[in-house]
Amino acid sequence: MLPCDYRVRLMQPADYARIGEICRVVYPHDTPYTPAELAEHHAVFPQGQFVAEHVPTGEAVGVHFTLRLRMADYHVDDSWDVLTARGTFGDHDPNGPTLYGADVFVSPEHQHHGLAHALTDATRGLVVEELLWRMVGASRLPGYGAVAGAVPADDYVRAVMAGERTDPVLSAHLKDGWSVVRPIHGYLQHDPESANWAAVIQWINPACPPPLEMALR
């Protein structure tokens, strides 16, 4: 349950500048989202762009951006650039049965209040509301870079799943109810902490049976 100083709501145009500022801090080596890009996300799928708001200031302090995809049109090894049409969300399919979690981040000043969990709960609520089969995303592996020279990525992910290792991001996703599909290389262009590896993760809507053609392969 969120502290009373926070709430989750849909993104609005007034949030764009603040989101860019947070993005610049959270991803210092990447180009932050521009107001034009965020406006495009809002235009193609407004109900899938969530914001955590700090109520006393009215400022956005975290986000979870999503779009709908038909994953049979893609491959499990496809990168973030491919799955988001280079961050534009231009490939959003209003009939796609999978909600794709393109990005989730929280301002460092407001972490450790359950905001990422609350944002994920909101996206899962959208999956249920729109009668979608599942939600798919990718988990960075920021603990892997330090051991990549000695441990294969598959073994690292298996160890995290078994509780034998702790990864700062994947362990949190597993605790939050996600399951691992498989590790992939090159999901993000610049992620040396993860040695450019990530784990494809998914959450299945128990109330919606899978379309036969949609299994990840």
Domains of the chain: 6-214 (3.40.630.30)
What's the pLDDT band for 213 if we cut at 50, 70, 90?
low
pLDDT band at 147 (very low <50, low <70, confident <90, very high): very high
Q: Which of 206, 204, 79 is nearest to 214 (CA)?
A: 204
Beta strands of 30-96 (E only): which ranges?
Answer: 49-54, 59-69
Q: For residue 189, what is the DSSP state?
A: S
**Does position 189 have pLDDT exceeding 90, yes or no?**
no
pLDDT beyond 70 at 47 = yes
What are the Cα distances from residue 174, in Å, to 55, 69, 178, 186? 29, 23, 5, 21
pLDDT, tens digit, for every residue of 87-146? 999 999 999 999 999 999 999 999 999 999 999 999 999 999 999 999 999 999 999 999
**What whole-number percentage of the chain has pLDDT above 70?**
97
Q: Which of 44, 43, 51, 40 is nearest to 68 (CA)?
A: 44
Query: Residue 216: pLDDT above 90?
Result: no
20-29, 95-104, 188-197, 206-215 — which is least confidently predicted? 206-215
Is residue 70 pLDDT above 80, yes or no?
yes
Q: What is the mean pLDDT of residues 170-187?
A: 95
Average pLDDT for residues 193-204, to the nearest whole number? 96
pLDDT given for residue 217 in this prediction: 45
For range 30-55, the mean pLDDT? 96
Helix (H, G, I), strand (E, B) or coil at 213: helix
Q: Does pLDDT of 78 surpass 60?
A: yes
Counting every residue written for the chain, the total comes to: 217
C-alpha closest to that of 38 among 101, 80, 89: 89
Q: Indicate if the pLDDT at residue 153 is higher than 70.
A: yes
